Amino acid sequence: MDQNHWTSTPKPGRLLQQARDSFLTSGDLNSKVVREPIQASWLRSSRLRVDTDNLDPAYHELDGPTPLALSAAPVLSALANELANESVSIILTDQHGLVLQRACPDPALVRQLDKAHLAPGFSYAEEEVGTNGIGTALEAGVPTMVTGSEHFTGSLGGFACAGAPIHHPVTGSLLGVLDLTSSVTHSNALLMFCARSTAQKIEHQLLTRSGARELALFRDYLAACQHPGSGVMALSADLVMMNNQAQQRFDPADQAALLARSADAAGSPNPVTLVADLPSGLVARMDYRPSFAGSELAGGVLRIQVQSGLDSSTGAPASVVPVMPGLAGTSATWQRVCQAVDTSRRNGSWMVLEGEAGVGKIALLRSVNQLRNSSGHFRVMDSAEASPAWLDTIAEELSVGAGSLVVRRAHLLDSDTISALSELLLEYADQRRGVWVALTMRSEPRNPEVDAQLLPHFSHTVEVPPLRHHLEDMHKLVPHLLGRLNRGNSLTISPAALAQLMRLPWLGNVEQLRRVLLRIAQHRRSGTIELDDLPGECRATTRRRLTQLESLERDAVVKALVIHRGNKDKAASDLGMSRATIYRKIRDYGIVLTI
C-alpha cells in the first residue's frame, strides 16, 4: 500500500468525531471520512472489546535495558536534543507495544501522557487501548499516523501519534515502535517523517551492534568446529548455525529436539552441560559455552557428542522396525513410536499412548494388534460412553484372556468410573499373559485422578507425536490416505500441492488431513490434485520457509491452542504474550484453527 495513504491529512475533527460516533453506535463506517487503515483498526478494536471511554492498559515491571533500548539510546538522545524546544514526546516500545522509554521536554504534555498511562511499563497494544499510533503500527507493520478522533478510545482524542515500526536489520523481525506523540494542536506533517527517519537510524544502529555480536559468535563457532568428532551448534536470539557433522549425524527430528533442548542454556552467561534424549533413540551430551562481544553476551556455542546408540528407555540396541499394516511413515520420529508400541505388544506389557487428538493412537494400536495377535480380537471402549454397562463389558473383555482391549480417551472418565476401572484392572492383573490392555489419553490437560489411579497399572507411556513434528511422512501418508479414500480410482497429488499441505501446522493432525483429502476426493476421483483443488483452509498459510526458531515458536503457539481447545486468551496467557500478539502469530504462521 502507498505510504502516502497511511500519512495523508486526516479529515476535520468534527467529521471524524461524527464518523466515530456513528461507528460506535451502529457499526457503520464512513469510508469517505475515515481512512482505510483506521477503519480496519476500529474493526479490530471492536472485536477485541476495547473500552471506548476508559483507559486501563496493562502494566508490567521493566527488567532493565533491552538490546533494542541500548541500540536506540544514542539515536534517541540526539533526537531529544533536536526537539528540546518542541512539545513532542519521544516514545520507544517493544514488539508487544510495551513502553520502554519516554522523553518529553514539555511538562504540560507529560501530565497529559501520565493521565493517559502512556508511560514506561504500560502496554499500548491495540487490544489494550484500541487504535493508536503504537498498537496500530504494530498490527499494520507500516508507519502509521493516528490523530484526534481517529483514536478508538475517546480519552486519546486530544493526541496526535506517529508510530514507525523498527525491524531487525538482519532477520527482518519486528522489534518495536518509535512513536512521536504531541497534542492535536501542536501536530504537523513532519511528525510522521521524523518518526520514520528515526526508526531507520535505530535499525542502522542495530546493524552495527548486531554485526559485532554475530562476528564474535561466528568466531567462537569456527573455533569449536576445529575439534574433530563432534557436532557444533551456535545460537543467539536471531541466529542458529549448525556444522555439517551435526546435520549429517542427526535427522531433522533430532535436530529439532537438540534445538529445543538448547533453549535451557540459551541466554546464560555461564557454561552449562545438557543431556538430550532424541526421537531416534540416541542420547546426546551438549556442552554450552557463552560467547561475548566485549562485555555483552553474543550468544552461545554448543558441542554435541552422542553418548550412545542404545535405546534410551531399555538400554538395548535399537531393533529393526517391522512393517506396520495399515500405516504409513518412515521418519525416525514415527518409527521410534511404532517400535515402542510393537515391543510392548510382543512382551505383553500394558501401556499408555498419549498425544493430541487425531494423531493416530487407535490406528497404531490396531496395526500392532493385526501384526502380533493371531486371534485378531481387538476391542475399543470409548470413555465418553462410560456407564455401569460399559464397565461390565470391560470386565467381560478382561475375563476372555485373549486379544487386545483399548480404553480410549481415559482423560474423560469421572472419579467413580476411574475407581471402578482401577479395581477391575487390579483384579485381572494376573491375566496379563492373555489380554493386552492399552490406554489412550491426551497429554494435556491432565486428569490427576487418572494419573494417580490408572497409570500405575501400566508399565510405561509412549507419546505419539503431532503430525507437524514429522511432516516428512506426508510424502508417504498422503498417497496412503488417498488410496484408502478413493478405492478403485487413481488419484495422485502434485508436488506443489503436497508442498503446500506440508506448510500447514495441522492442529487436527492426521484426522484433519484425512478429512481434507476426503473433501477433495468427493469432487475429484481421478487425475492429479493441484493447488487449485485444495480447500481454502489449506491455502491460508505462510508461504515462506520458517527458520528453526520460528518453527519452535509456531509449535509452542499451536500446542497452547490445542491444550486450550482454540481459546486464544488462555493460550496467550500460558505463553506470556498479549492477545494482540497471539492473533498476529496465528496470522503470520498461517495457523488454521479447526478445533
List residues bridging with 164 in a β-sheet.
Answer: 178
Could you tell me the pLDDT band of residue 595, with boundaries at 50, 70 and 90? low
> What are the b/e assignments for 239-276, b being 16+ CB within 10 Å?
bbbbbeebeebbbbbbbbbbbebbeebbeeeeebebeb
- pLDDT of 550 > 80? The answer is no
φ, ψ (nearest 5 deg) of residue 518: -60, -45
Which percentage of the chain shows pLDDT scores above 70?
90
pLDDT one-digit tens code per residue, 384-438: 999 999 999 999 888 877 789 999 999 999 999 999 999 999 888 755 557 899 9
Which of 91-100, 495-504, 543-552 reaches the highest mean pLDDT? 91-100
The answer to whether the pTM exceeds 0.85 is: no
The amino acid that residue 281 corresponds to is G
Tens-place pLDDT, residues 72-111: 999 999 999 999 989 999 999 999 999 999 999 999 999 9
459: left (phi over 0), alpha (psi -120 to 50) or beta: alpha
Mean of the pLDDT values across residues 483-488? 79
Task: List pLDDT tens digits, range 289-321.
Answer: 999 988 888 889 999 988 654 443 444 444 556
CATH topology of domain 3-209: Beta-Lactamase (3.30.450)
Q: What is the pLDDT of residues 207-250, one digit of tens each?
A: 877 777 777 888 888 888 887 667 899 988 767 888 877 877 78
CATH 3.30.450.20 in the chain is located at 227-308
Question: How confident is the model at residue 166, as a pLDDT?
Answer: 95
Q: CATH second-level architecture of 332-465? A: 3-Layer(aba) Sandwich (3.40)
Has residue 441 got a pLDDT over 60? yes
Fold classification of 468-538 (topology level): Helicase, Ruva Protein; domain 3 (1.10.8)
Segments of the chain assigned to CATH 1.10.10: 548-588
> 227-308: which CATH topology?
Beta-Lactamase (3.30.450)
pLDDT band (50, 70, 90) for residue 2:
very low
What integer is the mean pLDDT of 164-175?
84
pLDDT of the residue at 543: 45
For the chain, give every residue range classified as CATH 3.40.50.300: 332-465
- What pLDDT is recorded for position 537? 64
**What pLDDT sits at residue 314?**
42
Please compute the mean of the pLDDT values over residues 561-570 and round it to a whole number: 81
Grid cell digits, residue 590: 498461517
> Where does the pLDDT of residue 10 fall: very low under 50, low under 70, confident under 90, or very high at 90 and above?
very low
Domain with CATH 1.10.8.60 in the chain: 468-538
- In CATH, which of 2.60.40, 1.10.10, 2.60.120, 1.10.357 is domain 548-588? 1.10.10
Q: Give the residue range(s) of CATH 3.30.450.40 domains in the chain.
A: 3-209
| Confidence at residue 560, expressed as pLDDT on a 0 to 100 scale | 80
Do residues 461 and 354 touch, judged by C-beta distance below 8 A? yes
Q: Average pLDDT for residues 554-566, to the nearest whole number?
A: 78
Average predicted confidence (pLDDT) for the chain? 84
Residue 186 CA from chain centroid, whole number: 42
